[in-house]
Every structure is written in C-alpha cells, then in structure tokens.
Structure 1
C-alpha cells in the first residue's frame, strides 16, 4: 500500500453530525468517530469528550491527528486486517464454485448441504475443514450465497406448472 502523505485537513471541511446520521457503514465505531469529530468541531476539548464515550483523551487526540493528516476516510474507517489464508487456493476458487453448481444441477430434488460441500472439498480439492460450518466464509468469498431457491420435487412437471400459471392468473380468470 502506498504511503499516505499528510494534507492538513481542517475540522470545518465536513458536517460531521450529518455524516454520522447518514453513515451506512455497519460498524458503530464509525458513527462514534464522526460524533467525536463533530464535538471537536464545536470547540470541545478531548478531555471533555473522552468521558462521554468511555475513551481515554489520548484516543481522541489520535483520532484528531489522523483526520488532520490524512482526511476523513483514514480517520473513521478501520483498515482491513489480514486474516488466516484460505485453505482452498485462490486458483481453485472458480473450479470449486463450478463443481458445486454442477453437483446441484445433477440433483433431481433437494439441495446440497454443507456436509455435501464439505465432502466435495475434501475428496476433490484435498481441503479438510474441521467442521462443515467452516465452509460458509469460503462460500461467501467465492460469491455463493447459502440462501437457496425452493427445492424441486422429483416428480414435478414444469410444463404443467407453466400451463397452470398461464391459465390461472389472478384477475384474468375470475379467480382472486
């Protein structure tokens, strides 16, 4: 990441109260930092602000310095932290996703369970997870949601269902 250069931002550049009320970032710390910057903008000292938020005044000083040097983005948002590397190699993500899709399409009814995906990962990609529930972050990373469509009954007739939908529309056939 390139080193940021200080720019000496002023507290008068933003309406922190309005930003705090409209902040869509899910972290509560982001809003808290905006409220702190708003109070600094109002002329309050870090020693006055800190007890209201249960913080040390030094924390307020650090926030003000980060804003002054690097601007609002660097001051209020946390940096992304590195986590453990995925057991499944990044080059295998697409193949793993495709394999899950293929397995789901082969099924006549029902859906894949985490246990089924756990088996695919272990047997075909030599990736062993302690529990099948550990797969959910991996599925999220490869762009798969665990929200699934309603399963199809093995004896369902798609043509009969389409004919029914065309024939019996609410308001058109007299049925409401």
Structure 2
C-alpha cells in the first residue's frame, strides 16, 4: 500500500466545503471540494474517482496544501502564448494608429484598418477579431478619444 501524505494539524480547521462555495475559479473550487471529501474520511482514490481527476492530481493538491497552505491550492497566473508584437515598440505602434486616426476624414479607424496597417508596416498578421481587439487593448488605444 502506498504511503499516504501526512496531513498538517490545521488541515481539519478549514471548512473546504464553504471555501468551495465562495470560490470563483472552477479549478480551485474542485480542489476545495476534493479536500473537503478527504476531511470527511474518503481516500485519495475515492476522491479522484468521484471528481474525475487523476490520483496524482489529488495527491498534488494535498502536497500543495501541506507546503503552501490555502494559497497553494489557488489557481496561478499562466503565461500563455507570447505576443506576436513582443519585439515591436508599442509606442511606435500606438503613434501609427493615432496618426491614422488623425488623417482619417470622418468617422474613426476600424479594427480592419488597423489590421491592414499592422500587416503592411509591421509584418504582424492577426486573423481573428478577438486577437486584434486584445492587441489594441494591450497597447491601450482608445480609438473613441483620439
């Protein structure tokens, strides 16, 4: 039989069921629910089977709790994919967009116009509307207030 991870003394002082009810992030909520079941005497295997998680994941939750407490169970920031424009100077991009807005006669610059300018001048190609919008938000351009 594999060795069970020794639980800290304060493990039973937390109300993981209540923490799961107020937690917003779904992964963290599942971790709290799992630890609540462990508090109630369920084995790691039963918790893993009930929550459709791997046994190693449940053991990892307990290990994180033991090492870092409640904060060890919370979801961490993920790095994500690097920006296509990470090597470009954002101020130069911003100035180009603002210049395009000032040169436009009537109306405002559309995302499609910005996409064409990025492809032509900076060799940055965005295919999806959402990614273009995220890029514009990242460099903090408010086209309405130009």
* TM-score, normalized by the shorter chain, greater than 0.5: yes
Q: Structure 1's 55 and 37: CA in aligned 2 closer, same or farther, altered over 3 A?
A: same
Contiguous gaps of at least 5 residues in structure 2: 1-7
Higher percent of residues as helix: 2
Supply the RMSD in Å over aligned alpha carbons: 2.9
Of 132-141 and 64-73, more deviation after overlay is shown by 132-141
Partner of 1:61: 59
C-alpha separation between the residues in 2 aligned to 1:58 and 1:29? 15
User: Is 2:115–2:126's contact at 8 Å kept on the other side of the alignment?
Assistant: no
Picking from 33, 36, 40, the partner of 2:34 is 36
Q: Does 1:99 align with 2:112?
A: no
Q: Are 1:127 and 2:123 matched, yes or no? A: yes
Name the counterpart of 1:138: 135
- Cα separation, 2, equivalents of 1:20 and 1:105: 51
Higher Cα Rg: structure 1 or 2? 1
Q: Aligned partners of 1:93 and 1:36: how far apart in 2?
A: 44
Residue aligning to 2:86? 89
Q: Which residue of 1 aligns with 2:75?
A: 77
Label 1:55 to 1:87 Cα distance change in 2 as closer, same or farther (>3 A): closer
CA deviations on 1:7-66 (whole Å, 9 max, x unpaired) are x684235332222211233xx212111111222223322122122111232321111111
- Structure 1 pair 102–35 and aligned structure 2 pair: CA distance change class (3 A): farther
Distance 2:103 2:59 in 1: 60
SS of residue paired to 2:125: coil
List alignment gaps of at least 5 residues for structure 1. Answer: 1-7, 150-176
C-alpha deviation, 1:88, in angstroms = 1.7
Q: Report how far residue 131 of structure 1 moved.
A: 2.2
Distance of 1:135 and 1:9 partners within structure 2: 50
Write the distance in 1 (CA, Å) between the matches of 2:115 and 2:12. 54
